[in-house]
Amino acid sequence: MYKHLAALLLILVLSGNSFEAFSQEKAVIIGLVRDAKTKEPLPGVNVVMGTTGTITNLAGKYELKTDTSELTLEFRFIGYETQVKKLTLQPAEARILNIDLIQSVSELGTVVVSAGKFEQKIEEVTVSMAVIKPILIENMNTTVMDDAMQQVPGVQVIDGQANIRGGSGFSYGAGSRVLLLVDDLPMLAGDASDVKWSFLPTENLEQIEVLKGASSALYGSSALNGVINIRTAYPKTEPETKAVIYNGVYDSPSNKAYKWWSKSPQYRGASVSHSRKIGSLDLVGAANYFKDEGYRMGEHEERYRISLNTRYVFKKSLEGLTIGFNTNYTRSEGGLFFIWENDTTGAFIPQGGLDSNTTISTYITKRWNIDPFVTYSTNNGVTHKFRTRYFLTDNQNNTAQESSAGVYFAEYQFQKRFNQQSNWIWGVAEQYNGVKSELYGNHLSNNIGFYTQFDHQIERWNFSFGVRWEQNRIDTVKSEFTPVFRSGLNYRLYDNTHLRASYGQGYRFPSIAEKYVKTSVGDVNIFPNDSLQPETGFTAELGINQGFKINNWKGSLDLAGFWSEYKDMMEFVFGLYIPEGMTPSLDPDDPAYLPKWLGFQSQNIGNTRIQGMDLTLTGHGNLGRIPLQVLAGYTVIYPIQTDYNAATDTAKNSAKYNILKYRYRRLLKADIEAGYEHLTLGVSARYNSFMENIDEIFNLMIPGVKDYRDKHRKGNWVFDVRLFYSFLKNFDLGIIVKNLTNEEYLSRPADMQPPRSLVFQLRLKL
């Protein structure tokens, strides 16, 4: 028996030795994958060898070991033609195989990352998305980022409050149901949880991705209505310098009674950016200057902004490791307009004119962020990311509304790619806010979330499922850990036809501003509500995306039907907010004087539902000799309160029927740009239907609001046109006319928008 055991042991030892010897004789294939045109390394390329394979790291390199002498390698990457290489290898051979991939001319889709935090074709994601390229922002002479968002189908920005498909109304600058990201990291202010649009860099962009519908499973609180992800650019192979200078002038309004100036106000600005590679170091620096004399009396702005992106890609012993930081600083000074004097001669004049009781707030703001990050990618498809952000907003003004808020954010993310078929991601993120403010008081808040999402492709099917657990705290008040889920699928019916369905839950915790704001603007009082509760909701969607080609012009037609519901929706509501136990009085000297306690307060108004549809057309390429770019969309919504009480709600609202406030039920957006030789012509159009419902108090308290709304109930069309001429190879000279027909229109009550303006722009690109 012992002889048999000894023989067996000897066999096992010999087998182990022979296996080790055999494994030492494996052949090795290493190489670099690049873009055939730019020679840029391509990270994330799938290198498939039968049923196994690997993925190129951040430096575009890969390594494979095999004991097969005859094998076939496939190099697959989104937006590029697949390359197939057949090899014959000797045992222990080391083969170098470098590949240059060619961009696919038949590719119809744009590549996005926001839907699942990894690269996907836009037509293959399970939710509705829109993408804005930087050329549109440049050609429209966009001076602040929210102007660019007004051109996105289904998106509206009212007084800085972004809403997607009617998900938000008018929130007085506090709270956002749309999460703003810059390079995948949240950038909402720590006090009001609002977007600082003028802080966002327009001079260094890769693209802007808009994710429509509840997205809290990946992104947490404030992604209840969707996500806007602004992705900045890194250098290409060759250094690049861009410079822009422009000067604009406001025309007289179509209603001459509105003109308060003797000399037409102007605005001007300039920006410059430079990007280059220095060995393994990527650098992008940019600067921006803007000055606006203002078309509204007392409203003006002068702004400076500088930004820097850095990235260092390690090689050799630390291959796959990348470190860097991005930073941005903005200083602005000016006056802020809130409500008009009246609708006859004072539409561009603030309530109170320019005396001591004016509603104009003069301010000096300073904003700064720095984002250190570390990324490490391995050859087996694993990526570790550790990203941080410090974001400071400091606002000083003359109206006792000063506030300073610091945001500290950190996120660790693990991602595993399984060849071309699957992607698994999980992470943990924490945000800490410290606020010192005359407007809100001093507060501390904290948010922590754990999330995971798995995406898998089986032949024609793409499946996605994600979940997040999140807890929020303000001072000593904190919520329970709240789970939110999302799921979706996408089915490729034909080569360029994709059907999709998705369901996503949303969650939003009140901002410090919504709970603790106490201020007044003119005759409008705003009161705190420390009992405000979180709101929750979901978005369900069915959609179809049809891609097509006409010669070398590639287009996409997308149709989506959506259903969103919100529970305990937060909105500012007008009412009498007198302290408990105090009896209202009409004596001005009495602390209970009634007008002192009339105003707005953020409240949980109840449960709401928004149903609708989106139709979007996008396209780019050449029709014959003419390059043509198209972005157009039509959105219709039906927004209601599901627990509407006619007996009480009709007294608060201007519409005496069930419709949510401050929504446009129909939106149409279109931008078309065509070129011929040295000329480029672009036309933008925007249509908003009539805003049916507002707070009734606007009609009663602010002069002219009711009369103006009664006379203008048909909605508004606004057209912009632009013409550019390219000369001397690197120069473009442009003329942009905004509000071509000099349309008179409001964004919300008592907020008249700019008349026609003419802009001259000169661009240099080297």
Q: What share of the chain is helix, strand, coil (3-state, %, to 5)?
A: 10, 55, 35
Residue range 32-69, pLDDT digits in tens: 998 888 788 888 788 888 777 788 887 788 888 888 88
Co-location of 124 and 53 in the same domain? no
Domain membership flag for residue 674: no
Cα(524)–Cα(517) distance, rounded to whole angstroms?
A: 13
Cα(461)–Cα(499) distance, rounded to whole angstroms?
A: 10
Q: Which of 44, 67, 101 is the last residue of a domain?
A: 101
Co-location of 93 and 120 in the same domain? no
Co-location of 81 and 198 in the same domain? no
Does residue 18 surpass a pLDDT of 50? no
User: C-alpha angle 251/138/151, rounded to 5°?
Assistant: 75
Co-location of 430 and 459 in the same domain? yes
Residue range 305-325, pLDDT digits in tens: 999 999 999 987 788 899 999
Domain membership flag for residue 757: no
| Coil, strand or helix at 266 | strand
Please tell me the predicted confidence (pLDDT) of residue 480: 86
Co-location of 156 and 70 in the same domain? no
Residue range 449-461, pLDDT digits in tens: 999 999 998 889 9
Please tell me the predicted confidence (pLDDT) of residue 13: 38
Domain membership flag for residue 720: no
| Coil, strand or helix at 448 | strand
Domain membership flag for residue 682: no
Distances (CA, A) of 449 to 183, 372, 444, 468: 19, 20, 17, 7
Q: What is the mean pLDDT of residues 591-600?
A: 78
Co-location of 97 and 150 in the same domain? no
Co-location of 55 and 171 in the same domain? no
Distances (CA, A) of 313 to 41, 55, 370: 11, 17, 19
Co-location of 68 and 214 in the same domain? no
- Joined together, the tokens standing for residue 754 give 């700019």
Does residue 117 surpass a pLDDT of 80? no
76: domain CATH number? 2.60.40.10
- Joined together, the tokens standing for residue 34 give 């690049």
Work out how many domains the chain is built from and give that number.
Answer: 2
Cα(234)–Cα(232) distance, rounded to whole angstroms?
A: 7
Domain membership flag for residue 737: no
* Cβ contact 482:497 at 8 Å: no
Please tell me the predicted confidence (pLDDT) of residue 605: 86
Domain membership flag for residue 11: no
Domain membership flag for residue 746: no
- List, in sequence order, every beta strand (DSSP E) within 528-661: 535-550, 552-576, 598-623, 626-641
Residue range 215-244, pLDDT digits in tens: 888 888 888 889 999 999 999 888 999 999
Please tell me the predicted confidence (pLDDT) of residue 697: 81
447: domain CATH number? 2.40.170.20
Co-location of 86 and 181 in the same domain? no
Co-location of 50 and 171 in the same domain? no
Residue 134: is it exposed, middle or buried by C-beta count within 10 angstroms (0-12/13-18/19+)? buried
Please tell me the predicted confidence (pLDDT) of residue 691: 95
- The rounded percent of the chain whose pLDDT value lies above 70 is 94
Domain membership flag for residue 17: no
What range does the domain containing 41 cover? 22-101
What integer best gives the mean pLDDT of the chain?
A: 88
Co-location of 50 and 192 in the same domain? no
Nearest to 236 by CA among 34, 492, 487: 34
Q: What is the mean pLDDT of residues 533-549?
A: 93
Co-location of 95 and 125 in the same domain? no
Q: Which of 101, 124, 147 is the last residue of a domain?
A: 101
